[in-house]
Amino acid sequence: MPDRTHIRAAFPTDAPSLGRGLAELAEQAAAGTPESCGATATAVLAEESPGAVDADRTTAATHPDLSALVSVQLRVGEGPILAALDTGRPAGADDLLHDDRWPRYRARALDAGVRSSAALPFACDGLTVTVSVYGLRPGPLRKAAQGATGLLGDLATESMARDRLYRAALVQVDQLDTALRSRPVVDQACGIVMYVLGCDPDQAFDLLRRLSQRTNRKLVELAETVVRTRGRGLERNLIAFGRSAAPGPDRPASGQDRDLPG
């Protein structure tokens, strides 16, 4: 059994992108299962249905023929990968020549010279990864894969799930930064609207928000237009919209709305 610290070194805290992480995991799985001829790794997000044929999954393989074996399973909805995803337990066949549970996958595998295969599922923080190993000879690959490959899959899935959450957090930080940077110009635009209409800050912001929705323009872009022109030429439009917007946001845009300069 390989040392856990040594395996962690192969998947450091600053994990690579999901695709590259899966590619490294597939290579490690093949190397860690000498009885196999290659391996694949597939990732499924929690919001995706494991059995959905058109789900957007990320897959890596050590050989193009093995990538085709993953594709046929996902396309027809049968095979050890789908069985592992459905049950949460390892699934596979010791000899596909005499195992007819997944006929379409079996036909493709035998055509590629694959006689045995095993898929191991791993889940962490909304990410499920299946590692599959394939053999050119019949044999209990499932038992062989549950050693080093099982430990590799567990650690790699933790690392990729952590990296996915980190990337999502970066996106949220970027969105917050954009919102913070756009706030001053929105405040300035609200001040101009308050001066033109004689309204309070909440009413001015609500009017800009509704006008943004009616004209299908981003709020910050609309605010920049108001600030750039200092409200000149917009008085009539702002006053007219201030009146027409009062009934609610579902009212159709008026001609004055469409006449706002870009």
Q: How is the chain split into domains, by residue range?
A: 15-168, 180-244
Query: Who wins on pLDDT, 43 or 149?
Result: 43
Question: What average pLDDT does the segment 96-100 reach?
Answer: 94
Res. 253: pLDDT tops 50: no
Q: What proportions of the chain, in percent to the nearest 5, are helix, strand and coil? A: 55, 15, 30
Is 50 exceeded by the pLDDT of residue 12?
Answer: no
Residues in the chain: 262
Residue 15 CB-half CA count within 13 A: 24
- DSSP H/E element including 166: helix 148-197
- Segment 20-28 shows an average pLDDT of 91
Residue of 155, 154, 134, 130 whose CA lies nearest to 13: 155
User: Does pLDDT of 19 surpass 70?
Assistant: yes
User: Would you say the pTM of this structure is higher than 0.85?
Assistant: no
Same fold, 15-168 and 180-244: no
Consecutive H or E run containing 111: helix 103-111
Average pLDDT over residues 181-201: 83
The domain over range 15-168 is classified in CATH as 3.30.450.40:
yes
> Using an 8 Å Cβ cutoff, are 239 and 196 in contact?
yes
| pLDDT higher at 260 or 223 | 223
Which has the higher per-residue pLDDT, 53 or 159? 159
Q: How confident is residue 252, by pLDDT bands cut at 50, 70 and 90?
A: very low
User: Residues 234-249: what's their mean pLDDT?
Assistant: 59
Per the CB < 8 A criterion, the answer to whether 92 and 80 are in contact is: yes
Sign of CA dihedral 143, 144, 148, 149: negative
Tell which CATH architecture fits domain 180-244. Answer: Orthogonal Bundle (1.10)
Higher pLDDT, residue 11 or 236: 236
Which pLDDT band holds residue 178 (cuts at 50, 70, 90)? low
Q: Please give the pLDDT value at position 145.
A: 67
With a pLDDT cut of 90, the percent of the chain lying above it is: 34
C-alpha 76/C-alpha 82 separation (Å) is 10
pLDDT value at position 46? 61
Residue 249 predicted with pLDDT over 50: no
Q: How far, in Å, CA of 211 to CA of 225, rounded?
A: 12
Burial class (CB in 10 A: 0-12, 13-18, 19+), 134: buried
Residue for token pair 């917007």: 245
Token pair 């337990």 is found at: 89
Tokens in use for 219? 């709020």
| Residue 250 CB partners (closer than 8 Å, separation 6+) | none
Phi and psi (nearest 5°) for 178?
-60, -45
pLDDT category, 15, cuts 50, 70, 90? Answer: very low
